[in-house]
A = this chain, B = another copy of it.
Amino acid sequence: MGVRHDSAADAQHQGDPRPVGRGRLGARPGRARPDRLGQPGRLPQAAQGRAVSAAARLDELGLTLPAVPAPAGAYVPALRQGDLVYTSGQLPLVDGALPVTGKVGGAVDPERAKAAARTCALNAIAAAAEAAGGLDNIVRVVKVTGFVASEPSFTGQPGVINGASELLGEVFGDAGRHARSAVGVAVLPMDSPVEVELVVAVR
């Protein structure tokens, strides 16, 4: 069912800036947490409006980064080249399985697909963070490409991919604003309703 905010869990952890192990999706909770939180070197980044608090925002959202899903083929989940990280297309896998399959506008409701797109984005953040050497090294989101497995009559791809875009905004703030394409494809691997890839800038 994708990712959701757990306000009870939030309340429970006030005053603890780095709770671990409470995320619903986090197979390896806290694994990709930045290891430089609170170091003096952080201030200049804050001044840039950067994702200083990406880890904190994940906490506030009741999320932890999941284990990076194993690639479905002969490739890697994400790769750094220069100051960019390219992620592979991410499916909305939760613990290795797809909670929903089928075409949007057919078996899959747009709202469920939007929640799945949010899960895709969380998986993509995890993959990017791993390739970047930590969530903290992601400077900004650059480009999102969202593929929606669609019945030919379904034309609401932007609303579905907003599930990914909105999570990126919630986690990275202004640094999460991105260019984006959303298209409706015939079918996706494992009959997933959605697949999302990212290009992010790193340091």
Residues of A at under 8 Å CB distance from B? 71-79, 81-84, 86-89, 103, 140, 142-145, 147, 149-159, 161-162, 165-166, 169, 177-191, 195, 197, 199, 201
Contact = CB atoms under 8 A, between A and B. Distances in A.
**Interface SS of A by simple majority:** mixed
Given A89-B182, A103-B152, A179-B86, A81 B158 contact: no
Nearest to A104: B187
21 contacts: A72-B158, A73-B158, A73-B161, A74-B166, A75-B144, A75-B165, A76-B177, A79-B178, A79-B179, A81-B142, A86-B199, A103-B152, A150-B186, A150-B187, A152-B187, A158-B189, A179-B197, A181-B195, A181-B197, A182-B189, A185-B186
A1 to B, nearest CB: 21
Contacts of A151: 186-187
B169 A87 contact: no
Nearest to A128: B179
A11 B191 CA distance: 43
Most interface-central of A74, A154, A178, A180 (chain B CB within 10 A): A74
Nearest to A161: B73
Contact of A74 (B71, B89, B155, B169): B169
A137 to B, nearest CB: 15
Contacts of A79: 142-143, 177-179
